[in-house]
């Protein structure tokens, strides 16, 4: 089985979010970038398929050279080789088109991407990718087994979960549950050394259409101070008359 894990390079969850150039750009100054958490759950599940079922695991990221440390980390966790598509990821449709092109060339059986990235929260790359490739697609995936050409997946739905089956090739929109938080691996020294020697191929983007563009950003209005109440009577009164939520 040949697996491709799509990795997004995102600001660490604790990052301060600021905008620059007249609020048209995200301010990367002082921001630490990491593997998108939803992608890391998928990558770790891919490692399980590598260990237990002899899968090969490639990773792909759309980004300029600044994303390479994040890709090296994914290689240190155990991916076999990486493909960097040398373009700034401007919107989800664009990213999906770039990845679709690489996937067609690479003949992958299973494509695992995170349900959404924690920066732009678009949640569209796995679905558009599946649509462009004409592959089966399971979103919000919290469990995945593959036997021969058949995948059995568990997906989270509003208020519960659903078990589905589908034939490979398959695209997964993954999240926590594919593996547990405690299964995530911190790369060890040997992994880091080996990752330096692994192939990280750079390919140029194909001409793709940009469907959407972020023209301006803003931060939420600063919040007023919390109103502390002494009694539940006062709280219920405020929720009724002031917040009007009960």
To other proteins, the closest distance from the beta carbon of 20 in angstroms equals 12
Q: Which two tokens stand for residue 76?
A: 């240190």
Q: Tell me whether residue 51 or residue 180 sits nearer to other proteins (CB atom).
A: 180
Query: What's the farthest any 2 CA atoms get from each other in the chain?
Result: 65
| Cα radius of gyration rounded to whole Å, the chain | 21
| Residue 157, C-beta contacts closer than 8 angstroms, at least 6 positions apart | 140
d(C-alpha 47, C-alpha 64), whole Å: 26
How do strand 81-85 and strand 170-174 relate by DSSP bridges? unpaired
To other proteins, the closest distance from the beta carbon of 41 in angstroms equals 8
To other proteins, the closest distance from the beta carbon of 37 in angstroms equals 5
Q: Tell me whether residue 56 or residue 136 sits nearer to other proteins (CB atom).
A: 136
Q: Tell me whether residue 72 or residue 91 sits nearer to other proteins (CB atom).
A: 91
d(C-alpha 176, C-alpha 193), whole Å: 28
| Residue 240, C-beta contacts closer than 8 angstroms, at least 6 positions apart | 246
| Residue 2, C-beta contacts closer than 8 angstroms, at least 6 positions apart | 55, 56, 58, 106, 107, 108, 109, 110
Q: Which two tokens stand for residue 53?
A: 């079922």
To other proteins, the closest distance from the beta carbon of 60 in angstroms equals 18
Q: Tell me whether residue 57 or residue 91 sits nearer to other proteins (CB atom).
A: 91
Which helix (H) or strand (E) segment is 131 a member of?
A: helix 125-133
To other proteins, the closest distance from the beta carbon of 106 in angstroms equals 19
- Tell me the angle at which helices 37-53 and 68-77 cross, rounded to the nearest 10 degrees: 30
Q: Tell me whether residue 107 or residue 226 sits nearer to other proteins (CB atom).
A: 226
| Terminal-residue alpha carbon distance, the chain | 54
To other proteins, the closest distance from the beta carbon of 189 in angstroms equals 28
Q: Tell me whether residue 54 or residue 148 sits nearer to other proteins (CB atom).
A: 148
DSSP character for 102? H
Q: Tell me whether residue 54 or residue 222 sits nearer to other proteins (CB atom).
A: 222
To other proteins, the closest distance from the beta carbon of 109 in angstroms equals 15
Which helix (H) or strand (E) segment is 221 a member of?
A: none
């Amino acid at each position: 089985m040949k697996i491709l894990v799509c990795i997004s390079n995102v600001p660490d969850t604790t990052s301060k979010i600021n905008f620059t150039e007249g609020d048209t750009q995200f301010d990367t100054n002082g921001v630490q970038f990491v593997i998108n958490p939803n992608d890391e759950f998928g990558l770790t599940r891919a490692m399980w398929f590598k260990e237990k079922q002899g899968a090969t695991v490639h990773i792909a990221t759309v980004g300029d050279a600044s994303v390479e440390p994040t890709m090296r980390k994914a290689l240190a966790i155990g991916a076999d080789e990486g493909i960097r598509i040398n373009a700034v990821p401007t919107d989800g449709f664009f990213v999906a088109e770039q990845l679709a092109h690489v996937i067609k060339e690479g003949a992958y059986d299973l494509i695992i991407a995170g349900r959404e990235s924690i920066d732009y929260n678009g949640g569209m790359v796995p679905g558009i990718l599946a649509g462009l490739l004409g592959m089966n697609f399971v979103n919000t995936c919290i469990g995945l087994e593959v036997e021969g050409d058949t995948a059995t997946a568990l997906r989270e739905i509003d208020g519960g979960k659903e078990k589905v089956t589908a034939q490979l090739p398959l695209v997964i929109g993954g999240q926590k549950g594919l593996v547990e938080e405690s299964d995530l691996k911190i790369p060890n020294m040997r992994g880091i050394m080996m990752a330096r020697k692994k192939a990280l191929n750079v390919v140029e983007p194909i001409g793709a259409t940009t469907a959407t563009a972020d023209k301006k950003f803003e931060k939420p209005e600063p919040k007023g101070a919390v109103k502390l109440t002494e009694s539940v009577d006062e709280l219920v009164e405020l929720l009724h008359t002031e917040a009007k939520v009960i």
